[in-house]
Structure 1
Amino acid sequence: MSEQRPNPTGVPEAIRFEVSGHRPEDAVRDLARVYGGGVDGAGRWIARPTDGTFDHRYTALGDAEVTIRRAMLHGALHGVVPAGGDHVVLWVGAGTVEVEQRPLPLEVPVLLPADQEFAFRAVDHDLRIVHLDRAFVRRVAALRGDVGEHVLRFDSHRELGPEAAARWRGALTALARALRAGGTESAAWQEAKSAALEVFLDLFPPVLDDLPAVLGQPRNARLRAAVEYVHDHAAEPMTISDLSAASGLSVRSVQESFRRVFDVSPLTYLRHVRLDRVRAELTTADPQAGAVGDVARRWGFAHLGRFSAAYAERFGEYSKETLRRSVH
């Protein structure tokens, strides 16, 4: 969904909508828009019947900070969800769902990737979905502890157990009850939202990226915007022109600023961030899964030979050695 803004009263805008239909082309049109692809993104979605019949229904209720949603589909659907937008927690109640070819478990909360494009496949599904506005998540995280100038990231590969599932189910129940009782302007809804965010941050604790202290200097304010863009979009294709647009600096000034502060080019800085992200994932990955190539590609390394050399140069060991020492 496109980003919603609070209205002039300061109360987050209420969100309520439903889309439904009985034809695959209707599902492609409706769900591509809902998932952020828009009209242009519909070309990357395919829907088809599974047994001769087809229908879909998607509902959303809440406000611009938190919405609870339900997606039901009798049929098969796959497509590509763009990076950006809300943090989204998915609960698969029925059917089969894959994200980047990873089967999702039933009745366990799963965090979808927020900062990278991902492929999504589902068959005959019933999904409970919660959308969490990024700014709202950050405000609640700041109240829990000093997030400072960190860029917040969340591990979408974190696996949760029965206790976590029970806590999230309770949060979903409380949100739904608050909406039924008083709507989005009620005190009960505000309390349920905050409680749900507390559970979210417990289940998916933020991974904090330290930004160099030098970026706090006023003269580096625009460079800071470029660096934050790198950290927020590290898995996406990126050019120096993108950094120029994000920071308001010219292309030449972006290059000069990175050289002045970090003594590397902007694209070298991006490569270092991506390598750090790969290493962070490998330290918690299953050594038996042979995940190095998949993780590297997810973070933008298309040429695995060059990736391996760059990884060894940065960390003094090969990526497979990191994987063998993982916590699993």
Structure 2
Amino acid sequence: MNPTPPTRIDVDEQSSDLDAARDLLATTYAGNEWRADATAMPFAFRFAAVGDTAMSLRTIRFDGHLQGVMTPSEDFVVQWTTRGTATIGSGDDQLLMEPGRPQLWPQQGAAFSYRDYEQKIVQVNRAALEEVAGERGTAPGQLVLDHTVRPDERALRVWRSSVQLISHTVLDRKASPLLQAEMGRLGALALLELYPVVSASLPDELLLPRNAHVRRAVEYVHEHAHLPITSTDLARVASLSLRALQIAFQRAFELSPNAYIRQVRLDRVRDALLQGDPATTSIAEVAKQWGFAHAGRFSATYQQRHGEYPRDTLRRRA
């Protein structure tokens, strides 16, 4: 039985009606509480999308103020503005968009506010990304990307060059389904270079209402493991005293909060080594990136956590 190719996408919509433009985007992205207001600029709107249901390239122009809430999606959406202002999230978690710099949309959804903007989007379906991530060791159903990471310059170069090649191919309406599929795979690979995989899943017990405080702390660790966080930070996030936090972590994980942070970072190192090229990846540099400066101590700690030394993990890619 031959697999069914992804459905082709080819959309180009324009409007001078503010409410119609808002409704079109809200319907396309299953949004909640979307509101659009006029600004000093004459209103103009365009939405274009090309590709297929596995991966598509999209552009939006909206000369006005658009705000609302994006709900969780099965697609991974990387977007960047070329004009205007934009924020994602709220409070301490708010992200200010930098023109030209890609940002992964939070998979759990988020509030947003955009004004007089032009935006480019690469949208990759979860199933397509899971297939590529599975080849790198990510278990089915476990794919979570850390949208809070600020991609480094190497990852940005890979992303931009990949998007340029994808654009040339996908915008050619005569490109074959096979070539389109290869571009989808390239987009998935570039996305996995741009944002790290969060490997650990939370224990079922933490989903119980009585563990809501410690769950908030654990989720904070997984979202901010790349930052210098402390037990005091986690106590504040969980609205617990430091002593109560330590007791909660000991009960849930038989670990102190600091030991749990270190364990998550060791998992991130493993993810990076599984994805790395043995010919070019420096174990010491990856370790330093995740806060492990002492090579000998790191190697022993890694072996204790993962049952093998870092060099053995990296060799799996050979």
Both structures adopt the same fold (TM-score exceeding 0.5) = yes
Q: Residue 147 of structure 2 aligns with which residue?
A: 156
- Residue 208 of structure 1 aligns with an amino acid whose one-letter code is S
Structure 2 residue runs of 5 or longer lacking an equivalent are: 251-255, 262-289, 292-318
Query: Does residue 68 of structure 1 match 2:2?
Result: no
Aligned with residue 12 of structure 1, among 6, 13, 24: 6
- Residue 223 of structure 2 aligns with an amino acid whose one-letter code is E
**CA 121–318 in structure 1, closer or farther in 2 if over 3 Å, else same:** same
Q: Residue 161 of structure 2 aligns with which residue?
A: 170
Q: Is the 8 A contact 1:64 1:133 kept in 2?
A: yes
Q: Residue 22 of structure 2 aligns with which residue?
A: 28
- Report deviation, 1:293: 9.8
Query: Does residue 277 of structure 1 match 2:211?
Result: no
Give the % identical residues: 22
Q: Residue 201 of structure 1 aligns with which residue?
A: 192
- Report deviation, 1:12: 0.7
Q: Residue 133 of structure 2 aligns with which residue?
A: 141
Query: Does residue 190 of structure 1 match 2:181?
Result: yes
2: CA distance between counterparts of 1:276 and 1:270?
Answer: 10
Query: Does residue 87 of structure 1 match 2:76?
Result: yes
- Report deviation, 1:113: 0.5
- Residue 17 of structure 1 aligns with an amino acid whose one-letter code is V
SS at match of 1:75: strand
Q: Residue 130 of structure 1 aligns with which residue?
A: 122
Of 161-170 and 85-94, deviating more is: 161-170
Q: Is the 8 A contact 1:150 1:210 kept in 2?
A: no
1: CA distance between counterparts of 2:156 and 2:56?
Answer: 19
2: CA distance between counterparts of 1:85 and 1:309?
Answer: 39
SS at match of 1:131: strand
- Report deviation, 1:267: 3.6
The equivalences for 1:37-76 within 5 A come to: 37=31, 41=32, 44-76=33-65
- Report deviation, 1:182: 5.4
Structure 1 residue runs of 5 or longer lacking an equivalent are: 1-7, 213-226, 228-261, 297-303
Q: Is the 8 A contact 2:214 2:249 kept in 1?
A: no
**CA 210–306 in structure 1, closer or farther in 2 if over 3 Å, else same:** closer
- Residue 217 of structure 2 aligns with an amino acid whose one-letter code is L
Query: Does residue 106 of structure 1 match 2:40?
Result: no
Aligned with residue 314 of structure 1, among 243, 248, 255: 248
Q: Can you list the C-alpha shifts for 1:70-114, whole angstroms capped at 9, x where unaligned?
A: 011111111110112211001221211100132011212111111
Q: Residue 256 of structure 1 aligns with which residue?
A: none
**CA 211–309 in structure 1, closer or farther in 2 if over 3 Å, else same:** closer
- Report deviation, 1:275: 3.2
Query: Does residue 78 of structure 1 match 2:67?
Result: yes
Q: Is the 8 A contact 1:94 1:106 kept in 2?
A: yes
Q: Is the 8 A contact 1:96 1:104 kept in 2?
A: yes
2: CA distance between counterparts of 1:104 and 1:292?
Answer: 26
| Structure 2 length-normalised TM | 0.68
1: CA distance between counterparts of 2:222 and 2:24?
Answer: 36
1: CA distance between counterparts of 2:186 and 2:168?
Answer: 13
Q: Is the 8 A contact 2:198 2:222 kept in 1?
A: no
SS at match of 2:239: helix
- Report deviation, 1:286: 6.2
The equivalences for 1:175-324 within 5 A come to: 175-181=166-172, 183=174, 185-210=176-201, 266-268=208-210, 273-285=215-227, 296=237, 305-306=239-240, 311-315=245-249
- Residue 129 of structure 1 aligns with an amino acid whose one-letter code is I
- Report deviation, 1:117: 2.6
1: CA distance between counterparts of 2:241 and 2:126?
Answer: 31
| Structure 1 length-normalised TM | 0.66
Kindly tell me the number of residue pairs found equivalent between the two proteins. 254
Q: Can you list the C-alpha shifts for 1:113-166, whole angstroms capped at 9, x where unaligned?
A: 11x2311111111111011100110001112x2223561111111112443333
2: CA distance between counterparts of 1:160 and 1:141?
Answer: 18
1: CA distance between counterparts of 2:235 and 2:53?
Answer: 37
